[in-house]
Structures are given as C-alpha cells and as structure tokens.
Amino acid sequence: MVNINIAALENIGKVLNDPKRPMKERFRALFTLRNLGGEIAIKCISECFQDESVLLKHELAYCLGQMQDKNAIPILRSVLEDKTQDPIVRHEAGEALGAIGDPDLKMLLEKYQHDPAIEVAETCQIALQRLNWVANKASEDRNLSKSRYESIDPAPPSVEDNVEKLQQTMMDESKPLFDRYRAMFSLRNLGTTESINALGQGFKASSALFRHEVAFIFGQMQDERSVPYLKQTLEDVTEHEMVRHEAAEALGSIATDECTEVLKKYLNDPRPVVRESCEVALDMSEYENSPEFQYANTLLTVQS
C-alpha cells in the first residue's frame, strides 16, 4: 500500500462525495480509494451511499467487495437491507458481501434470497452458494479460487473446458445460477473465438442478472470480438438498464473507434444509469488510448 497521509485521503473522499464534480472524476476518486484501502477509504466510500446516482452507488458497493475488508460488512449490510435503495445498488451490496465471503453472513443472505427484487434475490442465492463453496472447497477446485483477471468473482470457474458443454450448462435454465456462472467464468478464461461466441449467446438468458454478468465479463476480457454483442445490447432500449450499463462500460474498456461512436450516441439516454455509464466509459476509453500510467490517478491530481 502507498504511504499517504490522512488529509490527502480525505481530499480524495471529498472529490468522491461532491455531486458537483463530473461523474468521471468521482469514479477516478473511488478507484483511487479502493486501491489505497484501509479504514478511512472505507469511511469515505460509505458516506457516498447518500448520493443520488445509482451508477455511482452500485460501484461503491462493488469496490467495497473487491477490497475484501471485513470493516465494510456493516455498511454493505445496511445497503442490502435498505429497500429505498435501487435494486441495482442492493444487488451489488449482496454480491460484495459474497465476495468478502464471511461465513457469518449466511443468515443475512438467506433472508434476502427471496427478496421481491429479482436481481437482489438471485444475487443472494449465488452469494450463498459461493459461501458454501469457499467453506467446502473440493480438492480439484482448490486452484480455481483465484481469477486470472484479479477480480473476486461471484463464482469460481468450473473444471470443465469443453466449449460446447460449457455453453450447454450456461444456458440450462433448470440449473442453479451458481453452476451457470461457473460455466460462464470458464468460457471467459478460455478466451477463444468459440468461447466468446458462446458467451454472446448468454444475452439470450432470461435472467437480467445473468445477462449483465456476461457484459461485465466482456469488459474484463477487452476483446474486440465481443463488440457486436455489446453494441446490440446497448442499442436495445428495451433491455434492462443494468445490462445496458454494463455493456456501455465494457465498450469503454475495449475502446475502439466503433465503441466510442456507439457510446456517444447514448450520452443523452433517458435512463440516468445508462447515460452516466456512457460518460464514464468514454473517460475509460480515453485512458485506454492514452499513455497515462494509471486509470484512477486522482491521487496525483489532488496532491499536486
């Protein structure tokens, strides 16, 4: 961890918590806090759950989960329990609790696995199965817990590596989402044209949560071969906003001219979560196409 004084950390927190700042700056502040970690960073991030932006708040929860710090459990718990928060934000809080993976969270996740908001219910079902998996890791699974994308995934990859079989499992709506997610993460790890096309079929699944995860994974892979699927998803105005948001951010991380062009088209989308995603995604593409050292470099700007 970088050695940084409290005042500098709090200044980054102020950028994050300032609704007058452009969304892309607030995102950079958030990623800087996530990377620095520790109690003050968690406090600054927690305060921001008062904000109006669903996009920003769901990202706060995501980052808290990825930080893997048990000090974030109380705030994530209160967000999951707060029915006035948007289901997208509550979903991300549930997923983050699963990522932290504390066995004591079992009861809480059980309570919300039947939440009326389907995104929240499905997330808690997956998180519960992840807790179980962490507790009873089968020996062949032991090497699977770490993602090659350095993310804490909602489910580990499966042990299968046959694309056809993986696609079959992924699309089998009678199977638990956890098993279908495992197949999805294996397809991601294969990274071939066949596995990307198989993942693209995932956009036909009935669960919006599932479809948003496919888009998220394409963002991690940053592979041009997924662009047609992502473009179609963002352009479909009848698609769930959580899925379109994730498609926009994935396009931002792939960052070809074609991606930029489509993102610009939705900068004024009537749905705030979609238009803010396009704004942030265009900022990410700018970074992808520039020689800057680190995407989230608020620390440098705040200190100088």
Residue ranges of the annotated binding site for Fe cation are 58-59, 91-92, 212-213, 245-246
User: Are 155 and 129 within 8 A, CB to CB?
Assistant: yes
| Pairwise CA distance, residues 287 & 281, whole Å | 10
- Residue with tokens 């706060």, as numbered in its chain: 60
101 to each of 67, 88, 91, 96, 232, how far by Cα in Å? Answer: 12, 20, 15, 9, 35
User: Are 171 and 201 within 8 A, CB to CB?
Assistant: yes
Radius of gyration of the chain (CA): 18
Instruction: Provide the sign of the torsion angle of the four alpha carbons 205, 244, 149, 39, taken in this order.
Output: negative
Residue positions in the annotated binding site? 58-59, 91-92, 212-213, 245-246
Q: Which of 68, 136, 134 is closest to 96 using CA atoms?
A: 68
